[in-house]
Each structure stands twice: as C-alpha cells, then as structure tokens.
Amino acid sequence: MNAFPDDILQAREARAETITALRRFGESVVCLRANVPGPDKEIPEAFLTIGFFLPLLPPNASEPLVFLQGADGPAVLATYKGLSPSELKKRMIQAEDTHPLGRFVDADVFGSEGPSLSRDSQRPCWLCGAPVWECTRRKRHSLGEILACLQTGVRTYLETQVDALIAAALQDELTLDPKFGLVTPTDSGSHPDMDYGLMKRAGEAIRPHLVRMVTEGIRYPDPESLFPRLKSLGWEAEIAMRRATGGINAYKGLIFSLGLLLGALGSLIGRGGRYAELPDTLRALTAQIRWDAQPSASTFGSQAWREHGFGGIRREAAAGFPALFRAAAKLETIDSPSLTMALVGLIGDLEDSVLLKRAGSWERYREAKERIAAIRFYDPVLIRDTTQWAKSLHLSFGGAADLLACAAFLSRFSRIFAFGPRWDQSFAL
C-alpha cells in the first residue's frame, strides 16, 4: 500500500526516538532495514530481506530486539553491550558486502551519542554498479526498474534457498539408516517396490512444484485464495512424481504435508507474520479441505475413520500439525540420533492409516506403535533390532517419515530466516 510522505516522515521520527531511547541501554545500537524505493515500503520483499538478514546480527543483544512496522517499512533494532559501535559497524558492512541480499539492506549503527557511523566508501548501485549518488543525480534508473531489481533479487534468492532446503530435508530423512522398515540408501525396508534411487528421482521431480507453494503463499496469503492454488500445485507435483517413478507413490503424503507447510510459511511472509502464527495459519488452510471428498468410501482409512473414529493424518492436519512442531523442536542439531528420536516421537504421536493397513489388526497396530514409542534414547543396537522386527512384519511408518522431512525443513529454514520477534521463534508452540 502506498504511504503518504507525511506518514513515512512520521514513522522515521518515531524510529529515531526509539533508537535514542535504546542508546541509553547499550554501547551500540543497530537498525536493520530493507532499502525499498518508492512510496510502498511494506512489500513482502522488505520482510523477506530482513528475515534472511536477521540471523546475521551478532547474538546476545543486551535488550530484546525491537520490531517496528509502519509507513517507512519494517525495521529491527538490536542493542549491544560489550560490542563497540566501530566493531559492530565493521561486522555489518561485511554482512552487507558478502550476503547475496546485502545490497538491499541498510544496517545503520549508532554509538551512545552522535550521528550514525558511516562507511568509508560509497555502496555501488544495484543495477549498474556505478556509485549510487551518480545514478541518483542523473536519474539513471526509473523507480520501476529499481523495484523490479529488488523484487527479482529477493524472490530468486528465496526460491534458491527453499529449493536447497527441501532437497536437504528430503535427504535428511532418506539417508537416515536404519529406520524401522522405511527406504534407506542400503535397504528398501518394507517397500519392495521402492529404493533409494527411486526416492531420489521422485524428490527431484516434486521440488520445483513445492518451491512454488511458498511463492504462491506470498502472493495469495489469504487461506481461502491460497488453498485451491496449493491443491493444483499438489496435483502437478504428484503427476511429476508418478512420471519419475513409473507410477509409484513415493511422496504423496509428503506433497500434502510439506505443501501445506510451505504455503503457510509463504502466507506468513506475505503478511509480515510471526512463527507463532504458523499453527493457526495451517489450521486455516486445512479448514478449506473437504475431507469427505478426499479418500473414497472404500479406502481403508475411511473405513477406520467411520468404524473407530481413527483420524489418520487428517486429525494431525486439522489440528495444525502439532506433532510436526514437537519433532522440529527435537532437531536443534540435525544428525542420526536427533532425527531418529524425532521419528520415534512422530511414530508415537501420529495415527497412520498406512501402518494400520499393513499391521492388519488394531492389536498389531498398537503393538507396533508402542514398541517404537518406548524407545527413550538413541541406542543403535535397539534401533537395528526394531528395524529387523518391523521389516519381518512388513510394517511401514510412511506418515511419520513425511513429517520428519517437514520437521527437518522447518528446522533448517528457521536457521537462515527469522520471522518477526526472535523470541517468538520457538517450536514449543
């Protein structure tokens, strides 16, 4: 939305007053903003730029970070003790000069008094590399050109990062070995029709469609407009997957869960939301699903739903994926022990219609879940033995594996991107 010049001026004054107030509490204050030209400064690219840059701020700010939003665009203020203004400025200049989005960022540093610290050298123009003052004086580029450069640069960076993180998260899940009868690099587990190579091909085929779910979320943050778009991208992903696997369903459940998660993240970014709003956004999206129309009345899942009130992934999705957030909270580091224990938690938490079908009876289904949920710490021998047992009964925990990949993605994304107030960036929601 275009702001009036007076509103922009007022927002700048309010920011300057907040900075003055914060200077009393620390040696240095940094003000992080996106350099957005023109009258509309609250565009998604501003939130994206700050979100990607925020994890580069030195840790241990002495006061809680201050998040400002208004006509002059979003800004973050961080106050430091024991870090001199010149040292802080040096670090911020280095981040501006080396991060792919650094050219779109203004990180102003203030000491306890006086004006903000400035650079020795002029920053180059985004478009042509000449000194900025020269391009400004000669009016070398139109507002439209400058804005398009910012938007393309930020969107391309986002898409590249999301694509790489999806690839990494799928790999986190796929390479975990042993894994209770799921496909690994060395073993097809309880899935004779699948192997590592097939899963890799399926993952590569669906990734571009999944990436688009984030960008659609940014463009259409309203759940009612977004959901049908996610659904059609989900269909496209599934068609690409079946083409790559010769018709085998390697990642249908993952497309559903990760697609919703990516759409919800995009929706939050698009409206400058916070991580804490993620479950609500997921619930708003899943509220759009017409579950009755999903599996046909004859499927095993539907039968279980009718006869036993068995919720399957529907219940988890409708609740805003609480098990996914619990799993993500276990992935502070991503390694075999933490991934295995996150998977164990998911198997215990989720109702899995595929597992129920394979188990063949409620008794065996419960026994399988309880046996795995009883694993309290990472014990490679116990996990190998339990995997042998699961394989011997052809059990599969595909639903939990899908959410493990989602949790790994969320954990990885949260390291490079910070939404809203940092202290809200907790998965214990």
CB of 26 to Zn ion, least distance (A): 36
Pick the stretch among 133-141, 243-251, 303-311, 314-322 that binds Zn ion (CB under 5 A): 133-141
The pair phi, psi for residue 283, each rounded to 5°, is: -65, -40
Asked whether position 146 contacts Zn ion by CB under 5 A, the answer is no
**Residue 149: CB minimum distance to Zn ion, A:** 10
Site string for Zn ion, 313-352 (x = CB under 5 A): ----------------------------------------
Residue whose CB is nearest to Zn ion in the complex, by number: 125
For residue 78, the minimal CB distance to Zn ion (Å) is 30
Exposure letters 78-117 (e unless 16+ CB within 10 A, then b): bbbeebebeebbebbbebbeebebbbbbbbbbbbeeeebb
Q: Determine if 150 is a binding residue for Zn ion (CB under 5 A).
A: no
Closer CB to Zn ion, residue 16 or residue 128? 128
Q: How far is the CB of 333 from Zn ion (least distance, A)?
A: 44
Q: Is 19 in the site for Zn ion (CB under 5 A)?
A: no
CA distances, 42 to each of 5, 39, 46, 199, 276 (Å) = 14, 9, 6, 41, 20
The smaller minimum CB distance to Zn ion, of residues 140 and 371, is found at 140
Q: Are 250 and 194 in contact (CB under 8 A)?
A: yes
Residue 39's SS3 state is coil
Distance separating alpha carbons of residues 34 and 55, to the nearest angstrom: 15
| Shortest separation between residue 221's beta carbon and Zn ion, angstroms | 32
CB-nearer residue toward Zn ion: 96 or 216: 96
Kindly state the smallest distance separating residue 159's Cβ from Zn ion, in Å: 25
Q: Which is nearer to Zn ion, 133 or 235 (CB)?
A: 133
DSSP states along 54-80: GGGS-S--SS--EEE-STT--EEEEEE
Cβ nearer to Zn ion, comparing 104 with 110: 104
| Minimum gap (Å) between residue 75 Cβ and Zn ion | 25
Number of residues located near Zn ion, criterion CB under 5 A: 6
For 32, the enclosing helix (H) or strand (E) is strand 28-34
CB of 113 to Zn ion, least distance (A): 35
Q: Is 125 or 404 the residue whose CB approaches Zn ion more closely? A: 125
How is 100-169 classified by DSSP, letter by letter? Answer: TTGGGEEEEEE-SSSS-B--SSPPBPTTT-SBHHHHHHTT-S-HHHHHHHHHHHHHHHHHHHHHHHHHHH
162 binds Zn ion (CB under 5 A): no
Among 16, 21, 128, 239, binds Zn ion (CB under 5 A): 128
CB of 184 closer than 8 Å to CB of 336: no
**In the window 68-107, what residues touch Zn ion (CB under 5 A)?**
none
Specify the residue, 21 or 128, whose C-beta has the smaller distance to Zn ion: 128
The angle formed by the CA atoms of residues 265, 267 and 268, to the nearest 5 degrees, is: 65
Q: Which stretch binds Zn ion (CB under 5 A): 39-47, 123-131, 315-323, 420-428?
A: 123-131
Q: Which of 3, 135, 269, 375 binds Zn ion (CB under 5 A)?
A: 135
Q: Which of residues 146 and 342 has its CB atom nearest to Zn ion in the complex?
A: 146
Nearer to Zn ion, 139 or 290 (CB): 139
Query: How many CA atoms within 13 Å lie on the side-chain side of 372?
Result: 30
What lies within 8 Å, CB to CB, of 228 at 6+ separation is 288
- Asked if 287 contacts 223 with a C-beta cutoff of 8 angstroms, the reply is yes
For 218, phi then psi, to 5°, come to -70, -40
Q: Is 143 in the site for Zn ion (CB under 5 A)?
A: no
Among 127, 143, 148, 239, binds Zn ion (CB under 5 A): 127
| Closer residue to Zn ion in complex, CB, 105/410 | 105
φ/ψ of residue 393, rounded to 5: -100, 5
**H/E element holding 33?**
strand 28-34
Contact flag: residue 16 with Zn ion (CB under 5 A): no
Contact between 148 and Zn ion (CB under 5 A)?
A: no
Helix-helix angle 322-329:278-286, to 10 degrees: 150
Q: Look at the block and give the residue holding tokens 């990436």.
A: 211
| Nearest residue (CB) to Zn ion, 137 versus 290 | 137
| DSSP category for residue 292 | G
* Minimal distance, residue 152 CB to Zn ion, in Å: 15
For binding to Zn ion (CB under 5 A), which residues are involved? 125, 127-128, 130, 135, 140
